[in-house]
Amino acid sequence: MSSIFSLTMLAESIRIAVPYTCAAIGGVWAERAGVIQIGLEGILLTGAFTAVAVTHATNSPTLGLVAAIAAGVALSLGHGQLTERARVHAVISGIALNLFALAATRMGLRALYDSASNSPGIEAYRFGPTGATGGAMLLRVLADPVFFLALAAVAATPFLLQRTRFGLRVRAAGENPVAAASVGIAVTRVRLTALAVSGAICALGGAHLAYDQQRFESGMSAGRGFIALAAVVVSGWRAGRAALACLAFGTLEALQIVLQDEVRKTAIGDLIQTLPYVATLLVLALAPRRAGAPEGLGKHAAD
């Protein structure tokens, strides 16, 4: 029990929650603009691969991070072009984005590293004290530059969406695109800009995931994008609530790791691994009674 209420547990919860949070905040930007974005999984995966590939080639995690953000923006804008200009249904486009990311990263592993499973190890950001104590782990997590960027995205998103002219246009494009267009707002341009922001923030999560493991593994996003989408839904498309939901998911995953270590030799060890996913299903089951979509989102999806 002492291991559950410890600095190690806190550090693990925050560390695990960062990729979820970045994907969820990216999802908030897309959904607020009226574009369904189920391609968060693919952007996470592409961001992770790009960060590792560029870092391995340049020995610079900063360049890898910038490249990951650029890749996330490019993928998200591709999704926007398909949905806004080619009029492809957003769900179909999102599925295609996820499949493309999975295939492209595996091809990249083959082409660059002659491996179908993982890349060579890289030197990522490592700030803070060394050691395996809970305090040292927590300081390393809090000193991570990607953590600071994720925290900034969480803090800035509500302000930008609620108190800036651009945020007002994003929300207008999502809630009532016809009315927004009637007063001169370029809805497609606003949505594409919001999607660019969405892709950049989501790709941060992919880079954090890869830097945390210090390499890329095929399919390493492992459903995090979909869990982040669940957090967006249950939060009612609000960044702060989405971040708290992701922290809860991260805590459950960290709890699963701690409990699995303690009950490894018991019959319930396999059941413990399902904790985060069971919680996700329960949250989604309760979501219709707790949160609603922006008014224009369903209308846009049906266009």
Q: What residues does each domain of the chain span?
A: 2-7+20-230
Coil, helix or strand for 41?
Answer: helix
What CA–CA distance (Å, rounded) separates 273 from 40? 23
- In this model, does residue 303 exceed pLDDT 50? no
What CA–CA distance (Å, rounded) separates 129 from 149? 20
> From residue 269, how far is each of 10, 27, 155, 216, 253 by CA, in Å?
22, 33, 38, 27, 14
What CA–CA distance (Å, rounded) separates 217 from 155? 30
What CA–CA distance (Å, rounded) separates 278 from 282? 6
pLDDT in tens, 256-273: 777 766 655 555 555 656
What CA–CA distance (Å, rounded) separates 220 from 50? 13
pLDDT of residue 260: 67
pLDDT in tens, 178-235: 999 999 999 999 999 999 999 999 999 999 999 999 999 999 998 899 999 989 988 8
The CA-CA-CA angle for residues 110, 65, 169, to 5°, reads 115
Whether residue 173 contacts residue 187, with contact meaning beta carbons closer than 8 Å, is answered with: yes
Paired with 217 in beta bridges are: 118
Paired with 9 in beta bridges are: none
What CA–CA distance (Å, rounded) separates 38 from 233? 12
Whether residue 96 contacts residue 102, with contact meaning beta carbons closer than 8 Å, is answered with: no
Q: Give percent of the chain above pLDDT 90.
A: 68
pLDDT of residue 174: 94
Within 10 Å of residue 133's Cβ, how many Cβ atoms?
Answer: 13
Q: Which two tokens stand for residue 143?
A: 């000193």
What CA–CA distance (Å, rounded) separates 68 from 47? 4
Alpha helices for the chain (secondary structure H): 7-32, 40-58, 61-80, 90-113, 134-142, 145-163, 165-175, 177-182, 187-213, 224-234, 239-262, 269-272, 275-290, 295-302
